[in-house]
Amino acid sequence: MSIITTVEAVPSRLYAIYSSLFDIENGEAKDRLETWATPPSLKNTTEDSGGSPTKLFVNSLVEARRIGLVEEIDDKLQLTADARGGGKKGERSEAYFRKYLLRTLFDPIRAEEIQQESFMLALTWLLSTNPLKPMSFSDDPNSAIKMTLGENARKTECTIALNYQNMLYWARYLGFATVVGVGATRRVIPDPINAIDDALPAIFADGNELPVETFLARLAAIYPVFEKGSVWERFNTMRLMPLNGAETRLSATTSIALQRLADRQRLTMRSVADAPDRILDFGVREDRVSHIGLRGSN
């Protein structure tokens, strides 16, 4: 099981558990937390039992434990020290929640240990799709993923629409996707602009301009799903059709995200004569970049 296959374990529910325990440093009884999380309108009622909690809380808690958010000590649930990250009562808990998820889900070794390695592989597939041709949010993705990965498609765990949608919820929450439309018209766009933006202070920790290969290497060290990253490279070895120009081109998703950050005055991109560069793919046109700089926040 994982955050993809445990369909109840969407970001909002795991954060609800996290935030409830964040301000209770000595923990809370499971039954009490379960009562808070499962109002009467969401209980399954039977003539004999008088009402039992739905799986919303139970399965979400299982996944919260699996990824190391929660532990049980002396019959009380509490956040693990790692998940709390030094946060104190009264602080903004979501910032600590996101930091923990990012350093856990995007660490290949750690992700494998907690059975979440499928998420990065599925996310890499999403980032490899064309942002200029948004995909349906509701359609079964199995055929589309198999067209790229063949039998390796099952390793993404997005084998049914519900699992695919769970992956999209997490991709959107962590800054890698945008979902537009309503109902049957909903479409998903691979859109990592927010994830890249969040990583810029770490990428430019020792300077305001970097060669493009250094920029990509530092970005991939934070998010291995991008070019030069270990998961990106693993994904490419699984592809049925080799990715032409992988060492010289950036995907349309990465290219457009970088250009949008430049348009927002967050980055500068330039091409220096004779310097190693990458081709930016904008679908209808191409450009080149050899150096990427940090311009600063608005």
DSSP string covering 137-192, please? SSS--HHHHHHHHGGGGGGG---SHHHHHHHHHHHHHTTSEEEESSGGG-EEEE--
Mean pLDDT computed over 72-101: 94
What pLDDT is attached to residue 44? Answer: 53
Distances (CA, A) of 210 to 25, 214, 278: 43, 6, 13
Within the chain, all domains assigned CATH 1.10.10 are found at: 11-93, 109-193
Q: In the CATH scheme, what architecture does the domain 11-93 have?
A: Orthogonal Bundle (1.10)
Domain 109-193 class, CATH top level: mainly alpha
pLDDT at position 46 over 90 = no
Model confidence at 49, in pLDDT bands (50, 70, 90)? Answer: very low
Model confidence at 140, in pLDDT bands (50, 70, 90)? Answer: confident
3-state secondary structure of 298: coil
Mean pLDDT computed over 134-143: 91
The CA-CA-CA angle for residues 66, 68, 70, to 5°, reads: 95
Mean pLDDT computed over 240-262: 91
Question: Does the reported pTM lie above 0.85?
Answer: yes
